[in-house]
Amino acid sequence: MLANQSPKFAIELAAELKPDAGAAAHKPASDQIGPLLQRPLSALSGDNRPIVFVIDALDECVNERELGELLAGIARFNSAANVKFILTSRPETHILGSPISDRGQNEILQLHMIDTTEVTEDIRLYIQDSFYKSPLNAPWYSDPSVISLATLSNGLFIFASTVVSYVLNAKSVHTRTTRLQTALAAVTQSSVAMGPLDSMYEFVLTRASNTAEIERGELEATQRVLACIMAARVPTSINMLAELLDMQVDHLRESLQRLLSVLFVPETDDEPGLRTLHASFGDYLIGRAPPNIRMIKSLGHNVLARSCLQRMARDDLCFNISRSRSSYEANDQTSADWMVPSLVYACLQWAHHVAAASESAVLDELSEQIFMPKFLFWLEVLSVLGKVRVASGLLRIAGSAVSVILIPCRHDSHHNRLDERLYHGFFVTQIRS
């Protein structure tokens, strides 16, 4: 294509190929860059116009060795002409480990790091233009429906393009309108609309679960980690999740490397934000994935319920966790700084995970062995965090799932609830004494 646009380049390219035109096609990719690009481009060194090569979907290259040679050649590329390469790819491990991932030499743009409003507006324009160019003999969509679909895409372009293709494949006003409304009402539950996106998810997960490359135990650990990320009540950091799961940080990061196409993994270990890139991935894993990949909904809650209770069993959930010098001094905002984020998460979220878990017998035992002896220390954490009033609600939530009596409750004509005077009065007078 470049030879068709530039006679100078075409002449130089022909001169390079003249000795043996067929031999170039059989050379390694890195050896082809010189005769096919670098030397012919020297003829354009005096041209100020930029020459941009776009190589899309590197992750879809089957031969990883040849891809590595190509990327190494591009990384070493040096030309007197004004040349730039734009490469697109999902963040597969073998690509992240190549020379093009050197931030000191190359500029790397992560799409999920772009401001969400900007991405949503781009997606809205794409949907609007696609619908506008596919008219029928009567109106079948509205501007609000376009905006709603763009919002549902949540920054994931392939999500929007999948639904657009699903809608536009219909050729009648009635069918298009019905499909659009179905997509807006429950887009993640429409197997027809989500087919291409599901195929992408299956491709990523199949590669991530290749038993020829990883041990079965590693695969199961990755599955538990993924389930916990989806079940987490707030976005966690690498450090927080590693502490909750009692894993080494580097092992946790390694288990996530194979899933960077579907997960957002913060660059630093303390930065919160570990999450799936789109909610449809969790829906796929639980409801639409093949049996060998599918995950039960309660798995993440089972793991996190145990993890939270076991986290509270450690020695740092103890008397006077705020390190107050006097029981007559109120907690200040710096008191919470003494507490590790994983302990804060465990104290605030354990009840929700217990209620959503499916291992009631195990959690009964853990609640009795761990939570009850730590009850007053748990209340102190809530007090330091300024959330002591949520204690009764958390206990009711947990009580709906476990049979063990966590603490005494008094009967009320309207409902059973903790006697607030119990935990306010006893807590204030005893916990600081």
Residue 416: is its pLDDT beyond 70?
no
Residue 291 burial class via C-beta count within 10 angstroms: exposed 0-12, middle 13-18, buried 19 and up: exposed
Distance CA 81, CA 6 (A): 13
Amino acid 198: pLDDT: 79
Q: Choose the weakest-confidence range: 71-80, 139-148, 302-311, 323-332.
A: 323-332
Confidence label for 229 from pLDDT (cuts 50, 70 and 90): very high
For residue 217, the model assigns a pLDDT of 76
Closest CA to 261 of 104, 118, 70, 96: 96
For 238, residues 6+ apart whose C-beta sits below 8 A from its C-beta are 249, 252, 253, 265, 266, 268, 269, 270, 271, 274
Tell whether the model's pLDDT for residue 342 goes beyond 60.
yes
What CATH number is given for 205-297 in this structure? Answer: 1.10.10
Q: Got the DSSP string for 254-320?
A: HHHHTTTTTEE--SSTT---BEES-HHHHHIIIIIS-TTT---TTHHHHHHHHHHHHHHTSTTS-TT
In the chain, which residues fall in CATH 1.10.10?
Answer: 205-297
Please tell me which residue, 144 or 31, carries the higher pLDDT value.
144
pLDDT at 22: 59
CA atoms within 13 A on the CB side of 22: 0
Alpha-carbon gap, residue 83 to 6, rounded angstroms: 14
Which tokens go with 285? Answer: 């894993």
Q: Do residues 231 and 223 make contact, with C-beta atoms less than 8 angstroms apart?
A: no
Q: What is the pLDDT of residue 303?
A: 96
Tell me: the pLDDT tens digits for 178-208? 888 877 875 444 455 566 677 778 877 877 7
SS3 417: strand
For the whole model, what pTM was predicted? 0.64
Q: Which helix (H) or strand (E) holds 153?
A: helix 143-153
| More confident site: 165 or 414 | 165
